[in-house]
Chain A
Amino acid sequence: GESVGLHLPTLSVQEGDNSIINCAYSNSASDYFIWYKQESGKGPQFIIDIRSNMDKRQGQRVTVLLNKTVKHLSLQIAATQPGDSAVYFCAESRDDKIIFGKGTRLHILP
């Protein structure tokens, strides 16, 4: 069954503000998580990943935080831009499968 899920199906953020997209997981044995971005009409694209031996990982304008105590991870996007408008998926790697959550659509307000 579903093991990763996002809290909100949509999120609206003012251009230039920071965006925070949340995800919860249920399997405490899960040890590897990935974030993907899907723009309209395209396939998902890898953003960043994190393993359970870390609680934070940074990329270009993005940060992923992992809280194993409450089984929660988040994707933070700094200085949100119009090009960040997309659906964001968290995913979990488990038993050779990569299982996706349902996604959060990020709307950028001008």
Chain B
Amino acid sequence: EAQVTQNPRYLITVTGKKLTVTCSQNMNHEYMSWYRQDPGLGLRQIYYSMNVEVTDKGDVPEGYKVSRKEKRNFPLILESPSPNQTSLYFCASSFLNTGELFFGEGSRLTVL
């Protein structure tokens, strides 16, 4: 089944404790992206990648890192999480030159 898989789906952590949210897709998509979703603010793009070893900042990259060592994986790294990073995070992927993003089920992160 074609899908985007994120882990963990839920996480409660404390300020400053490094964490990684993994994302994997099995559709051979070149494009992958991370979004955060907050009430009243919609979906905001954090980082995106157009291919292996190519990553670019979205609109809200501060406090996040990503890597794209393999085509299928695009982990989101929070080196020192802060409470303002409490949010619902979505990973998405697509072929290039299309807006048809396939989204994961989301990862709800709470930073205390």
Contacts and interface: CB of A to CB of B under 8 A. Distances in A.
Does B associate with A?
Answer: yes
Contacts of B101: 34, 36, 44, 46, 98
Contacts of A103: 42
Interface stretch (A14-22, A52-60, A70-78, A89-97): A89-97
Contacts of B104: 43
B59 A99 contact: yes
A89 B43 contact: yes
Nearest to B31: A96
Interface residues of B, number: 25
B43 A44 contact: yes
Interface in A31-53: 32-34, 36, 42-46, 49
B74 interface: no
A43 B48 contact: no
A105 to B, nearest CB: 11
Contact of A34 (B35, B59, B99): B99
B106 to A, nearest CB: 6
Contacts of A25: none
Chain A CB count within 10 A is highest, among B4, B42, B58, B92, for: B42
B76 to A, nearest CB: 15
A34 to B, nearest CB: 4
Contacts of A91: 99
Contact of B99 (A43, A49, A102): A49
A43 B94 CA distance: 14
A5 to B, nearest CB: 9
B45 interface: yes
Nearest to B57: A97
A97 B35 CA distance: 11
A100 B100 contact: no
Interface of B: 4, 33, 35, 40-45, 48, 50, 56, 58-59, 90, 92, 98-106
